[in-house]
Amino acid sequence: MADTVVRTRRQVSVEGPPKGAGRLPRAAVHHPWWFALPAITVFVGFFLVPNLLNFYYPFTNWSSYHADIAFTGLDNFRTIADDGSLLRAIRTTLLYALLAALFQNGFGLVLALLLEADTRFNRFFRAVFFLPVLISALATGYVFQALLDQDGAVNSLLGTDVPWLGSTTWTLVVVTLIHGWKWMGLAMLIYLAGLKGIPGDLLEAARMDGAGPWRTFWSVRRPMLAPAVTFNVTTALIGSMNTFDIVQATTGGGPAASTEVFNIYMFRIFGQGLYAQASAMSLVLFLVVVAVAIPLVVGLRRREQLL
């Protein structure tokens, strides 16, 4: 009896005062802002401020050839548009991101389906396929350069003489395949988690209704994998637009600039001391990423809810 009385009284005291007035001070006391301030300061100072500065320096003549920095308007954008590097970088990067996301997710999904059951054999091979994620992208690039060079291991093994990294059309595809290879282990883990999240009785019911493995995959598991797909496709597309190491180590942007993505271009131009021009390209990359990311996230979220 006494117990009930105490409990009711406490409830009254918590919910008693009007909502807006009572809540805020209590939250402020218990979870004070200053716990978040260091993180916000570092993030704003070293991530957001540079991105804001990136809206000013592309319009200047900042370079190693000038002592001072003066406003020059759209000159840098005119330069990169006129020499064709702007459109080429946009096209190459988007194509790279698209193919890399495709391969990374394709390989990852196939591996997840092959290694789905929780057996010792499968656990061992999951770790094996995760190994490339642990090797640095730069090292991965060098390994594949040694494999795919014209006098490399693959040609000597097959007895062929294919210039894997020397085609202005196909080398981009080869490099994105390497990118997919490096990250397939991570995509596999996330698809595995997605598969595990599907309730067993759903699959049981599908089997009772006479659905074969293909039908079960297409009609039951594929829609249930939607959150995993959202995460994997978004991170793969956005991450591969920021690619540098694999391209630098395999082709350095060649042949004939056919694999020169944004970051390779910035690296090259910055090395020549044309800082503002590199910054202009960096701003374009920022805008391209935003233009791709927003509709992508919104679209995939909506699709998730529909399925």
Closest approach, Cβ 281 to other proteins, in A, equals 8
Neighbouring residues of 45: CB distance < 8 A, sequence distance ≥ 6: none
CB nearer to other proteins: pick between 1 and 131:
131
Residues 77-96 that bind other proteins (CB under 8 A): none
Closest approach, Cβ 179 to other proteins, in A, equals 14
**Residues 288 and 241: beta-carbon distance below 8 Å:** yes
Asked if 270 interacts with other proteins (CB under 8 A), we say: yes
Asked if 186 interacts with other proteins (CB under 8 A), we say: yes
Number of residues written out for the chain? 307
Number of residues interacting with other proteins: please give it, by CB under 8 A: 95
- Find the binder of other proteins among 7, 42, 218, 295 (CB under 8 A): 42
CB nearer to other proteins: pick between 50 and 84:
50
Asked if 194 interacts with other proteins (CB under 8 A), we say: yes
How far from 41 is each of 27, 36, 37, 54, 286, CA to CA, in Å? 21, 9, 6, 19, 22
Residues 135-174 that bind other proteins (CB under 8 A): 135-139, 142-144, 146-147, 149, 151-153, 156-157
Joined tokens for residue 219: 């009609």
CB nearer to other proteins: pick between 135 and 205:
135
Asked if 121 interacts with other proteins (CB under 8 A), we say: yes
**Residues 179 and 241: beta-carbon distance below 8 Å:** no
Instruction: Report how far residue 206's alpha carbon sits from residue 174's, in angstroms, rounded to the nearest whole number.
Output: 39
Query: Omega before 163 cis (within 30°)?
Result: no
Asked if 177 interacts with other proteins (CB under 8 A), we say: no
Closest approach, Cβ 143 to other proteins, in A, equals 5
Residues 14-33 that bind other proteins (CB under 8 A): 24, 27-28, 30-33
CB nearer to other proteins: pick between 132 and 257:
132
Instruction: Report how far residue 229's alpha carbon sits from residue 190's, in angstroms, rounded to the nearest whole number.
Output: 9
Closest approach, Cβ 8 to other proteins, in A, equals 18
Residues 198-217 that bind other proteins (CB under 8 A): 213-214
CB nearer to other proteins: pick between 32 and 84:
32
> What DSSP string describes 1-54?
-HHHHHHHHHHHHHH-S-HHHHHHHHHHHHS-GGGTHHHHHHHIIIIIHHHHHT
The dihedral formed by the CA atoms of 39, 242, 280 and 91, expressed in degrees to the nearest 10: -150
Joined tokens for residue 57: 């320096």
Asked if 53 interacts with other proteins (CB under 8 A), we say: yes
